[in-house]
Amino acid sequence: MKMKTSYCASLTLLASLLTGTAFFAGCSDSGSSATQASSQNKGSAAERTYVAPGEKDEYYLFYSGGHSGQVFVAGLPSMRHLITIPVFAPSPGTGYGFDDESREMLGDFTWGDVHHPGLSKTDGMYDGRWLFVNDNANNRVARIDLRDFKTKQILGPIPNSSGNHGSSFVTENSEYLLVGTRFSVPLPMGRFAPVEDYADEFNGMVSGLKVDPESGDLSVGWQIITPPFNWDLGSTGKGPSSGWAFWTSYNTEMAHTKLEANASQRDRDYAAFVNWRAAEAAVKDGKADMLDGVPVIDPAKVPGVLYYVPIGKSPHGIDVDPSGRWIAASGKLQPTTTVFDFEKVQAAIDNKEFQAEFRGVPVLNYDVIVEGEVPVGLGPLHTQYDGKGNAYTSLYIESAVAKWKLPPWTDAEKANLEFTVLDKIGVHYNIGHLVIGGSDTRAPYGDWLVAMNKLSKGRHLSVGPSQPESSQLIDITGRKMEMVYESFTDPEPHFAQILKADMIQPIEVYPKAESNNPNAVWSLSDATYTREPGKVTAKVAAVRSQFGPDKITAEVGDTVVLHITNVEQTTDIIHGFAISGYDLNVIIDPGETKSVTFKADKVGVFPFYCTNFCSALHQEMQGYLEVKPA
């Protein structure tokens, strides 16, 4: 608290000295009487975040689970963890990765690295249909359906790509997920070239993944080949920047070794400004070459799809404001956030005088398109917006969030952009991303900010060396930011999305009427068991508190196929089906049918039982798998 006061006090003093007035209202400690009244009405931090037993949160918070490969769901403002949605890694708790369908989705991979969740949008606003996430490790993306909070599709590995970090950025009407590759490799994939030939033989890629407007089904649309620049963070345009997407690169030096030093030589790296509508049109016009089955655009041959824009040293974040005109990009090694004016960007695109060139691609003149460099503080990364004309930038090195005012700026502010920095709050510690609900839409919610901190440094009961991740909740409704809560998660949230809870009505059971699974059985008497040479098939009904059949007989070496239906149509009555000694646990939600195929490769009698406590007689819900000698 002291730190903030003295920081504001010194800025106020500076402002007074320069202008003769004390107008630095944003840092005013006393605030106007209106502000005082509203912060009194808000109550204490505890009251503002308290959600009483039986009451529900106002928002969903979808955290990326980082290298856990999962998505964590919490309620906001309570920050209570609600559920983990398994995406790229098996989860015995929900049976994900055990039944045939989810096993097939996971393929040969057992993990992923989820960084950036992106909610689907209609007309630039969240529509509550899907949540998309990226896998930085294995070049995949996934679609989670918000009707049932389940992973429905994993697309990938995406061809011609390595290290899908710069995604999943969703366009205004969910036309595309846009993806930039963090790593570069020799193309086509699998070709060898020595790492020393990095600058000439390696390539990065920007991909447009098409989203089916009805089903949400993802497919690879087109790609734009780039130098090996390490595309890192991105966002999509709206309003004047509609049809555009933006990525930062942290290695315009094209270094291939000791990146810490060698990728930090130039004062400016490049951002990629991509006209994805132009890319889409170019592919339609046959201006792309096929590479591994994907139309790939060479931007040197197809003008108008890609422009480079110099930005602050070693950037890690580029974010478009709700109006779509202002684009904030930050360089970790430069204590300012650069604000680009997209109207000036367009003017520079239209005037060759304001362009240089790199490998046949125009480089826009920095000075012509920049509105200003806001001195936010040390180690700026990501920026979010509250929809009230303010921006919030995470400061990794300073362990703080800076609140600053978006343009248009007054002459006094332009003369000294320090005046646009309105407030700063310390976070614990080393913040990466931050999120405000709806920041990437036309109308952010503007009430809560969640800071996702990289180090928690023991601000919690000790759990040994493997420490949890810390997130802090900040109230941004007043002029000054207020820290009101902190919570901890498994590793490792990078980014998050916040969705108003009333935007979605998730189902609580799978309606029997909707089931079109030919293997579903809806009563114990309909359950079937058949054996043909080498194969046992059972259609199993699970209902409180029995399995039918409760004896399944196989001969060693048989393939066993079980289709298990949870007959229940009652909320929260979930059954499990685990076979002792067979490393198998299927979880079936009410009204759901899941299939599992395995080899009966061990002779003996193996109990199976329900793993999810479902009734007073849950413990009795068991049976036997007999595996006879051949």
Residues that bind ligand CUK (CB under 6 A): 115-116, 165, 233, 316, 381, 432-433, 494-495
Residue 204, token pair as written in the block = 């990065």
Task: Give which of ligand CUA, ligand CUK, none residue 575 binds (C-beta under 5 to 8 Å, depending on kind).
Answer: ligand CUA
Closest approach, Cβ 590 to ligand CUA, in A, equals 11
Tokens (6 digits) for 354: 């304001």
Supply the minimum distance, in Å, between the C-beta of residue 316 and ligand CUK: 5
Write out the DSSP string of 441-476: SSS---SEEEEEES--TT-SS---SSPPEEEEEEE-
Is residue 496 close enough to count as binding ligand CUA by CB under 6 A? no
Residue 101: helix, strand or coil by DSSP? helix
Residue 548-577 contact track with ligand CUA, rule CB under 6 A, x = bound: ---------------------------x--
The least distance separating ligand CUA from the CB of residue 586, rounded to whole angstroms, comes to 12
Using CB atoms, what's the residue nearest to ligand CUK?
432
Residue 588 sits in the site that holds ligand CUA (CB under 6 A): no
Contact of residue 116 among ligand CUK, ligand CUA, none (CB under 5-8 Å per partner type) = ligand CUK
In the bound complex, what is the minimum distance in angstroms from residue 123's beta carbon to ligand CUK? 26
Q: Closest CB to ligand CUK among 116 and 140?
A: 116
- Peptide bond just before 549 cis, omega within 30 deg: yes
For 161, 385, 440, the CA distances from 223, given in Å and listed in that order, are 10, 30, 23
Buried b (16+ CB within 10 A) or exposed e, 605-623: ebebbbbbebeeebeebbb
Q: Residue from 612, 623, 625, 627 that binds ligand CUA (CB under 6 A)? A: 612
The interface partner of residue 621, options being ligand CUA, ligand CUK, none and the CB cut-off 5 to 8 Å by kind, is ligand CUA
By C-alpha distance, which of 208, 160, 166, 211 is closest to 184?
160
Among 59, 7, 39, smallest CA distance to 482 is for 39
Residue closer to ligand CUA by CB (options 52, 616) is: 616
Tokens 């130039």, residue located: 266
The only residue of 610, 623, 625, 627 in contact with ligand CUA, by rule CB under 6 A: 610
The 10 Å Cβ neighbour count of residue 301 is 12
Closer to ligand CUA at the Cβ: 325 or 563? 563
Q: Which of 42, 152, 428, 618 binds ligand CUA (CB under 6 A)?
A: 618
Q: Which does 613 bind (CB under 5 to 8 A by kind): ligand CUA, ligand CUK, none?
A: ligand CUA
The one segment of 52-60, 167-175, 237-245, 607-615 that binds ligand CUA by CB under 6 A = 607-615
**Binding-site partner at residue 218 among ligand CUK, ligand CUA, none, CB < 5 to 8 Å by type:** none
DSSP 96: B
Nearer to ligand CUK, 89 or 137 (CB): 137
d(CA 600, CA 191): 41
Torsion over CA: 352, 356, 357, 362 (sign): negative
- Please tell me whether residue 621 binds ligand CUA under the rule CB under 6 A: yes
Shorter beta-carbon distance to ligand CUK: residue 335 or 623: 335
Among candidates 225, 221, 263, 270, which has minimal Cα distance to 246? Answer: 270
Secondary structure (DSSP) of 485-528: EEEEESS----EEEEEGGG----SS--GGG---TT---SGGG-E
Q: Is residue 594 at the binding interface for ligand CUA, with CB under 6 A as the rule? A: no
Distance from C-alpha of 138 to C-alpha of 126, rounded to nearest angstrom: 27
Considering the rule CB under 6 A, would residue 152 count as an interface residue with ligand CUA? no
115, interface contact from ligand CUK, ligand CUA, none, CB < 5-8 Å by kind: ligand CUK
Which positions lie near ligand CUA, rule CB under 6 A? 545, 575, 610, 612-614, 618, 621
